[in-house]
Structure 1
Amino acid sequence: MSQFDRVLVVDWSANATPKLGADSIWIGSAGAGAVPPRNISTRAASMQALRIEIASALRAGQRMLVAFDIGFGFPRGFAAHLTGRAEALAVWDWLAARITDDARNGNNRFEVAAEINRHFPGIGPFWGRPNGRDLPDLPAKGNARTGHGLEELRETEALCSGAHPMWKLYTTGSVGSQSLLGQAHLAALRQEFGDALSVWPMQQGAAPIVLVETYLSLIDPAVKLAQGYACKDAAQVDLLARAFHHADMTQLMAAPAARETLREEGWILGAGHDAHLLAALDAPALTPPRLRNDCFAMPQGVDWVPVDTALDRLRAVLHPLTGVEDVPVHQAGGRVLAQDLVARRANPPAANSAVDGYGFAHDSLQGDGPYTLPLVAGRAAAGQPFAGAVARGYAVRILTGAILPEGVDTVVLEEDCASDAARVAFDGPVKPRINTRKAGEDVLAGVPFLHIGRRLTPADLALASALGVGHVQVHRRLRVGVLSTGDELLADPGADAQPHQIFDANRPMLLDIARKWGHAPVDLGHMPDDPSRISAALDAGARECDVILTSGGASAGDEDHVSRLLRETGNLSSWRIALKPGRPLALALWGGVPVLGLPGNPVAAFVCTLVFGRPALSLMAGCGWQAPQGFMVEAAFTKSKKPGRREYLRARLDAQGRAEVFASEGSGRISGLSWAEGLVELPDCAAQIGPGVMVRYIPFSSFGL
């Protein structure tokens, strides 16, 4: 096992503008506090995220390995010629003093590379630049270099198939650009964290935070087999982090070359150890892990299970089952975040006017008014900023949403002013900064604003868009299969029914519930009471779905084939819940896929799905345990309740806000579900309910319907 509590793997990027998705910055993690791969659009934001991670690890007393896919050193002779010291870390400091890299990824890497080339004889060693970039000391093509006196590859790169040279700055495989920018940023980390951070293999010792260089293609065979990831980059950082966490680090970090080579050229952690890293990957971890075969088993001696005990048990044994994918933010409604979202820009991005009116510098006003100020030519409008500055003692016409021009910090409402197009007059006194909005007063740039596990709402999409987030990492939708069984059922409600037949009400109800909860419903159809056909349907569900809901056949009767099949093949645990309606709840695994066997009665199936299915499916979908929010209201009904089980009554609020219940508690009365707008939950103990007594009412909206 790893000597590190946590491992981070960073897929770095030299993009000149913010970017998400493939070929951008990804961070994978393994070990303590591991989360799905995160995609970050700028180097500045990613470094801030790493600072937070490092500080958190130090506070927790953890050791953490942070691996970057950039070169930590250059071929032998480079460092000494450039800095006078044959040490890679001297180059880091040299670059940190010259590289600029702003919050939007704007940087001067090509200019710095040209400066470096001027230190060496001949032409080079760096090459590659955008077309039209006027940098005579930086050739556009590698074959234009001559006489610089340096090797193309480092010793470690000879062990990594397909490695690009550190001198390449542009187009595919521009590891030179990534390394120039990365080394400058990492030099700042070293300065900030001091002795708590070391760089392998240039520095020895047991610092709690260790930076290493790596090569993402070391585990390509595993990446090619991986499923459920947004892109190859996400799979690489996630799997390599896991490999490092499970690998024998003593073996990987043993001195792989001469000390002089390591100090000047650095080394790729894992170079030459591809097989060891692949072996360290636990195959089931390539996709979200399945549930344990015995996860639903209740402790021996448990007979009737209280509702809260059943819910606690489900919460303890379930975990997310879905992979991660990258989607445009405008298509992410209802999806579950697999990353924290960080604001790419502030909202508002600049100070602006909250009203239509006239803007000026508050300190130019004298006394308490009234005031008359001359107007400058032009105006400021949203999307049409005022060109230039507003001189002290002048005002400018400004419209709602317009950026405050230089020289303006206060705006007076248009209705409070009189103007003849050359002057504006208004009364006083006037408060400073009135009718203006500060830059970032809603959300600041670089701040996390929505967190992992959140199901995105329309308002969230508006916020993310306003903050410059174009793509998000979300959990793949949970695929929920729905299967009905029973000879008495007809799947088509338009068919002619015999007296002994009824129409399948559960399947359309459960499929639509799954859809409303944001999952991907999968119709597994209706099967008669034929064990072979039911078994085939469950097999199909296990191939297509993440979880299966069945209704009917889950008790212990002669024709209860679902429970018999699950007992024989699926490791059935039959939970007898102290609940009305819907006591039996069958839970099992079929082909590794969880199966929730619901009662056949539609009312009982509906209540069990809300009470148990909602939180369980939400947890498996990645958005956490969703407990319903109820509130206390006065009862408008009378009931005497016996002790021993919890009861849920179909209910709605009357005009006075009191809970009234459906006229019949019969669990075959489906019309009561349409009549109701929520449930009244009565406790496990005995209760005497009468008008005015307080009861807990849970609206269907609190169950996500």
Structure 2
Amino acid sequence: MSVCDQGALHSIEQAISALKNTLNRQTATQTLALQAAHQHVLAQPVYAQVDVPQWDNSAMDGYALRANDLQQPNNSLPHAGRIAAGDMPEQKLPAGQCMHILTGAPVPLGADTVVAQEDCSISPEHIQFNHCKAGGNIRRRGEEIQQGQLLLEAGTRLRAQEIGLLASQGFAQVEVYTPLRIGLLSSGNELCELGKPLKPGQIYDINSYSLSTLLAGLGFTVTHYPKMPDNLQYNIDCLRTASGEQDVLISSGGVSVGEEDHLKNAVSTLGQLNLWRVAIQPGKPLAFGTIGTTPWIGLPGNPAAALITALIIARPALLHAQGATNCAHQTLHIPAAFDWKKPRPRQQYLHARLALQDNGQLHAEIHPKQSSAMLIAASWADGLVEIKAQETVEKGDLVGFVAYSELLN
């Protein structure tokens, strides 16, 4: 009996694990200019080239001095000069004097303290210090990063903050995994291209646009293929062609149990169907397998179901195949602002928004329209509420909440 013939639905965890095993782990790498490496995955660990800071420098605008030079009763010192960011760090502080110093400027030799400008009374020849903390307001050499330390591990996805960190070390280029090439296909006679008038019985091809935007935002290279009509031989021919050109194929629609859902049969003809039907709502008819040696993921056709299964199941497996090491999403636990009285046999994902209660605490509200065919709720929402199979919820109960910002990053 194949995995697809088994009566029980597969859990979400089983589906993700099996999909990871189906997808080929990326090994090809390329060297990119740093500014082009956003959302790519590091192929090699990166080690610090220099200390940060490279010398002691001032944390704010103020005056550099030796704390022991301050004497009661007036705690004042003569002014001996000015140091700005970019000046040489070898300047010396004359004994018994202070120097005006700007944020980021190197602390002069001999100084051990910087006093903030707002804690000083300034006259033409002397500076009076109204408050002084010995050793204060100095960023010490290497206090953030020390030369030779591990900066970023292989498998790190490069966000804006990692790009900035690499720039702080002077890296103009970085070695990353070559993005997976994903071929995107939509199935169904009812699909109409954007910009054309709808004929009776037609709908616009939503999934090609929502899924390609999602996948490109995650750092993959996406190719659109023409829509596949509900015809078994056409499906076979299209899948055969696309599988020879891409690393992964992702389709939407055609994986349910209808008479015109031919994709599963087309995949079985060309390769192997590894899994079908997952205990998730929306999105039960998700399937995947291989076409020759090329992995294929079949998402449901309903737009909300396609989006949710792509985010919850396909996303972590695809990022793992890309070489990323941290692929799981983070689930927060937020009080519910709703009741969910009827337990369901599948794990629910509900479009939800965070809102402040009168006591200042966040709670999760759900949209009244949760149909697998509707995207209006997804545009309204901040994320997804998770409700485990066979569970009910009352107002105030903690529920799992996954932010879209977490899933789309």
- The residue aligned with 1:484 is 186
Q: Please tell me whether the aligned partners of residues 336 and 453 of structure 1 are also in contact (alpha carbons under 8 angstroms).
A: yes
Distance (Å, rounded) in 2 between the aligned partners of 1:624 and 1:698: 19
Q: Please tell me whether the aligned partners of residues 22 and 290 of structure 2 are also in contact (alpha carbons under 8 angstroms).
A: no
Q: Which amino acid aligns with 2:311?
A: L
- The residue aligned with 2:293 is 592
Q: Pick one of 359, 368, 371 that aligns with 1:663.
A: 368
> 2:382 aligned with 1:677, yes or no?
yes
Q: Pick one of 42, 67, 74 that aligns with 1:370.
A: 74
Residue pairs, 1:405-424, within 5 angstroms: 405-424=108-127
- The residue aligned with 2:264 is 563
Distance (Å, rounded) in 1 between the aligned partners of 2:90 and 2:275: 74
- The residue aligned with 2:251 is 550
Q: Pick one of 54, 59, 81 that aligns with 1:349.
A: 54
Query: Which whole-Å deviations, capped at 9, do the CAs of 1:624-674 have from their partners, x for residues lacking one?
Result: 352222222222223333353212222223442332222234322332222
> 2:179 aligned with 1:474, yes or no?
no
Q: Please tell me whether the aligned partners of residues 236 and 266 of structure 2 are also in contact (alpha carbons under 8 angstroms).
A: yes
- Determine helix, strand or coil for the equivalent of 2:78: strand
- Determine helix, strand or coil for the equivalent of 1:642: coil
Q: Please tell me whether the aligned partners of residues 680 and 696 of structure 1 are also in contact (alpha carbons under 8 angstroms).
A: yes
> 2:170 aligned with 1:465, yes or no?
no
Change over 3 Å in CA distance of 1:383–1:586 after alignment to 2? same
- Structure with greater helix share of residues: 1
- Determine helix, strand or coil for the equivalent of 1:527: coil
Q: Please tell me whether the aligned partners of residues 20 and 321 of structure 2 are also in contact (alpha carbons under 8 angstroms).
A: no
Distance (Å, rounded) in 2 between the aligned partners of 1:359 and 1:701: 44
> 2:313 aligned with 1:612, yes or no?
yes
Q: Which amino acid aligns with 1:617?
A: L
Query: Which whole-Å deviations, capped at 9, do the CAs of 1:175-214 have from their partners, x for residues lacking one?
Result: xxxxxxxxxxxxxxxxxxxxxxxxxxxxxxxxxxxxxxxx
Shift of 1:389: 2.0
Distance (Å, rounded) in 2 between the aligned partners of 1:598 and 1:299: 15
Q: Which amino acid aligns with 1:414?
A: Q
Residue pairs, 1:249-260, within 5 angstroms: none
- The residue aligned with 2:283 is 582
Query: Which whole-Å deviations, capped at 9, do the CAs of 1:290-314 have from their partners, x for residues lacking one?
Result: xxxxxxx749957321222223333
Distance (Å, rounded) in 2 between the aligned partners of 1:678 and 1:438: 42
Shift of 1:577: 1.2
Residue pairs, 1:688-699, within 5 angstroms: 688-699=392-403
Shift of 1:369: 5.0
- The residue aligned with 1:703 is 407
- The residue aligned with 1:653 is 354
Distance (Å, rounded) in 2 between the aligned partners of 1:523 and 1:481: 6
Shift of 1:696: 1.6
- The residue aligned with 2:333 is 632
Q: Which amino acid aligns with 1:594?
A: P
Distance (Å, rounded) in 1 between the aligned partners of 2:337 and 2:123: 66
Q: Please tell me whether the aligned partners of residues 603 and 667 of structure 1 are also in contact (alpha carbons under 8 angstroms).
A: yes
Distance (Å, rounded) in 2 between the aligned partners of 1:370 and 1:334: 57
Distance (Å, rounded) in 2 between the aligned partners of 1:655 and 1:427: 43
- Determine helix, strand or coil for the equivalent of 1:572: strand
Change over 3 Å in CA distance of 1:632–1:426 after alignment to 2? closer
**TM-score, normalised with respect to structure 2:** 0.90
Shift of 1:511: 0.6
- Determine helix, strand or coil for the equivalent of 1:633: strand
- The residue aligned with 2:98 is 395
- The residue aligned with 1:125 is none
Shift of 1:678: 1.7
Q: Which amino acid aligns with 1:650?
A: H
Query: Which whole-Å deviations, capped at 9, do the CAs of 1:589-610 have from their partners, x for residues lacking one?
Result: 1232110011111121112111
Q: Which amino acid aligns with 1:679?
A: L
- The residue aligned with 1:43 is none
Larger Rg belongs to: 1
Q: Please tell me whether the aligned partners of residues 183 and 222 of structure 2 are also in contact (alpha carbons under 8 angstroms).
A: yes
Distance (Å, rounded) in 1 between the aligned partners of 2:118 and 2:112: 19
Shift of 1:583: 1.0
Shift of 1:512: 0.8
Query: Which whole-Å deviations, capped at 9, do the CAs of 1:307-339 have from their partners, x for residues lacking one?
Result: 222233334554522521111222222211112
Distance (Å, rounded) in 2 between the aligned partners of 1:683 and 1:416: 57
Query: Which whole-Å deviations, capped at 9, do the CAs of 1:468-510 have from their partners, x for residues lacking one?
Result: 22221111122222101111211x2221222122221111111
- The residue aligned with 1:454 is 156
**TM-score, normalised with respect to structure 1:** 0.54
Distance (Å, rounded) in 2 between the aligned partners of 1:427 and 1:679: 54
- Determine helix, strand or coil for the equivalent of 2:77: strand
> 2:139 aligned with 1:437, yes or no?
yes
Change over 3 Å in CA distance of 1:298–1:624 after alignment to 2? farther
Comparing 664-673 with 567-576, which one deviates more in the overlay? 664-673
Q: Please tell me whether the aligned partners of residues 610 and 703 of structure 1 are also in contact (alpha carbons under 8 angstroms).
A: yes
> 2:307 aligned with 1:602, yes or no?
no
Query: Which whole-Å deviations, capped at 9, do the CAs of 1:39-82 have from their partners, x for residues lacking one?
Result: xxxxxxxxxxxxxxxxxxxxxxxxxxxxxxxxxxxxxxxxxxxx
Change over 3 Å in CA distance of 1:666–1:364 after alignment to 2? closer
Q: Which amino acid aligns with 1:572?
A: L
Shift of 1:351: 0.4
Distance (Å, rounded) in 2 between the aligned partners of 1:339 and 1:574: 33
Change over 3 Å in CA distance of 1:552–1:411 after alignment to 2? same
Q: Which amino acid aligns with 1:382?
A: A
- Determine helix, strand or coil for the equivalent of 2:236: helix
Change over 3 Å in CA distance of 1:319–1:439 after alignment to 2? farther
Distance (Å, rounded) in 1 between the aligned partners of 2:9 and 2:46: 44
Larger relative CO (CA 8 A, sep 6+): 1 or 2? 2
- Determine helix, strand or coil for the equivalent of 1:510: helix
Distance (Å, rounded) in 2 between the aligned partners of 1:594 and 1:514: 16
Change over 3 Å in CA distance of 1:407–1:494 after alignment to 2? same
- Determine helix, strand or coil for the equivalent of 2:295: strand
Distance (Å, rounded) in 2 between the aligned partners of 1:701 and 1:524: 28
Q: Please tell me whether the aligned partners of residues 343 and 469 of structure 1 are also in contact (alpha carbons under 8 angstroms).
A: no
Q: Please tell me whether the aligned partners of residues 322 and 620 of structure 1 are also in contact (alpha carbons under 8 angstroms).
A: no
Q: Please tell me whether the aligned partners of residues 353 and 399 of structure 1 are also in contact (alpha carbons under 8 angstroms).
A: yes
Distance (Å, rounded) in 2 between the aligned partners of 1:615 and 1:593: 18
Q: Please tell me whether the aligned partners of residues 23 and 318 of structure 2 are also in contact (alpha carbons under 8 angstroms).
A: no
Shift of 1:521: 1.7
